[in-house]
C-alpha cells in the first residue's frame, strides 16, 4: 500500500553573506485518493564556489535532478543514477558556457519514497536521517574527510581531539563538479519505512547539532507537522549562535501511514 507522506522544507542563511543551498519536492502523477499518497521525491543540495556560482550549482542540481527523474522510466536505482549523472553534466555545461563559474559544485542527497520503501542517492556530506521510536539513524554515507578522521579516531589511530581539529575536516571527498564523481552512495534495495517514521534531508549546516540534539528536537515536536519540525530544528541551530554558521536547509518527511 502506498504510504501517506507529509513534507515541508525551510532554510536559514546563517552567518554567511549568501545562500548556497537549494531544495526541491516533487510528487509523482497518478490516480490517488489523497495528494499525500503520491510517491514523493525530495532533494537537498549544498552549493560551493562562492557567491552566485555556489547557488547556481545547487539550483541546477535540484532542477535537473527532478526533471530527469520525472521524465525517466525503469528501476528506481537506475533512475536515481541517471538523474545524478545528468546533474553533473549540466554543471559541466554551465561551467563551459560561463568560465566565471569555474570551481563551482555541490553536494546532493535525494530520497524517493513509494510503496516499496525509501530509495536514496547521495554525493557529499549532506544528511539523510531517520528517526524511528526515538532513535536517530543516518541512512547515507558521509563523503567528507571528517568521516574518515572519525573512523581513524574510533580505531585508535589518532586522538578524537586531532580528528576534530584537523584543518581538512570539512573538505569533501566527493561532489558534483562536472568531473567524474569520486564516490556515490546508491543502495540497490530500498530501506524499510514504517508509520510515524521521520525522515530528514539536510545540508551540513545541521551538523551544528549533534545526533542527540536532533533527536531531542524531533521527539519533542513529534506530534507536530513537518513544517513545525523544520522550523524547530533551524531554531535550535540558530540558538547555538556560531559566528561561522553555515547555510542550513532542513527537509522533513513524516510517514503518516505505511
Instruction: Read off the pLDDT of residues 75-116 as tens digits, 9 standing for 90 and up.
Output: 999 999 999 999 999 999 999 999 999 999 999 999 999 999
Q: Is 62 contained in some domain?
A: yes
CATH number at residue 110: 3.60.40.10
Q: Is 146 contained in some domain?
A: no
In whole angstroms, give the CA distance from residue 23 to residue 203: 10
Q: Is 160 contained in some domain?
A: no
* pLDDT digits 0-9 by tens, 122-172: 999 999 999 999 999 999 999 999 999 999 999 999 999 999 899 898 899
C-alpha cell at 231: 522550523
User: Which residues, in sequence order, are CB contacts of 72 under 8 Å at separation 6+?
Assistant: 79, 82, 83
* pLDDT digits 0-9 by tens, 39-86: 999 999 999 987 679 999 999 999 999 999 999 999 999 999 999 999
Q: Is 153 contained in some domain?
A: no
Q: Is 156 contained in some domain?
A: no
206 lies in which domain range? 4-138+172-257
DSSP3 helix / strand / coil % (the chain, rounded to 5): 35, 30, 35
C-alpha cell at 205: 549546516
C-alpha cell at 63: 532542477
Cell 569533501 appears where?
A: 172
Number of domains making up the chain: 1
Average confidence (pLDDT) over 209-233: 97
Q: Is 159 contained in some domain?
A: no
Return the percentage of the chain with pLDDT > 70, whole number.
99
Q: Is 151 contained in some domain?
A: no
Average pLDDT, the chain: 96
Q: Is 150 contained in some domain?
A: no
pTM: 0.95
Query: Strands across the sheet with 198-202, in order?
Result: 4-12, 248-257, 198-202, 127-132, 135-138
In whole angstroms, give the CA distance from residue 233 to residue 218: 8
Amino acid at each position: 500500500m502506498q504510504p501517506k507522506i507529509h513534507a515541508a522544507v525551510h532554510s536559514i542563511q546563517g552567518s554567511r553573506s549568501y545562500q548556497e543551498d537549494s531544495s526541491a519536492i516533487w510528487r509523482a502523477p497518478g490516480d490517488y485518493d489523497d495528494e499525500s499518497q503520491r510517491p514523493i521525491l525530495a532533494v537537498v543540495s549544498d552549493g560551493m564556489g562562492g557567491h552566485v556560482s555556489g547557488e547556481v550549482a545547487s539550483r541546477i542540481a535540484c532542477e535537473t535532478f527532478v526533471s530527469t527523474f520525472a521524465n525517466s522510466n525503469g528501476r528506481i536505482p537506475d533512475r536515481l543514477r541517471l538523474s545524478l549523472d545528468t546533474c553533473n553534466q549540466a554543471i559541466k555545461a554551465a561551467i563551459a558556457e560561463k568560465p566565471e563559474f569555474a570551481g563551482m559544485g555541490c553536494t546532493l542527497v535525494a530520497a524517493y519514497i513509494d510503496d516499496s520503501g525509501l530509495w536514496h542517492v547521495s554525493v557529499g556530506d549532506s544528511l539523510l536521517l531517520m528517526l524511528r521510536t526515538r532513535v536517530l539513524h543516518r541512512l547515507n554515507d558521509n563523503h567528507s574527510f571528517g568521516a574518515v578522521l572519525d573512523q581513524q579516531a574510533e580505531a585508535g589511530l589518532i586522538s578524537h581531539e586531532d580528528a576534530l581539529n584537523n584543518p581538512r575536516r570539512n573538505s569533501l571527498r566527493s561532489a558534483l563538479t562536472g568531473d567524474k564523481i569520486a564516490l556515490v552512495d546508491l543502495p540497490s534495495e530500498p530501506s524499510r519505512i514504517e508509520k510515524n517514521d521521520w525522515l530528514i534531508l539536510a545540508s551540513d549546516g545541521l551538523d551544528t547539532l549533534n545526533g542527540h540534539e536532533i533527536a531531542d528536537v524531533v521527539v519533542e515536536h513529534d506530534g507536530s507537522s513537518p513544517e513545525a519540525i523544520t522550523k524547530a530544528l533551524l531554531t535550535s541551530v540558530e540558538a547555538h549562535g556560531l559566528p561561522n554558521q553555515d547555510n542550513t536547509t532542513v527537509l522533513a518527511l513524516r510517514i503518516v501511514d505505511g
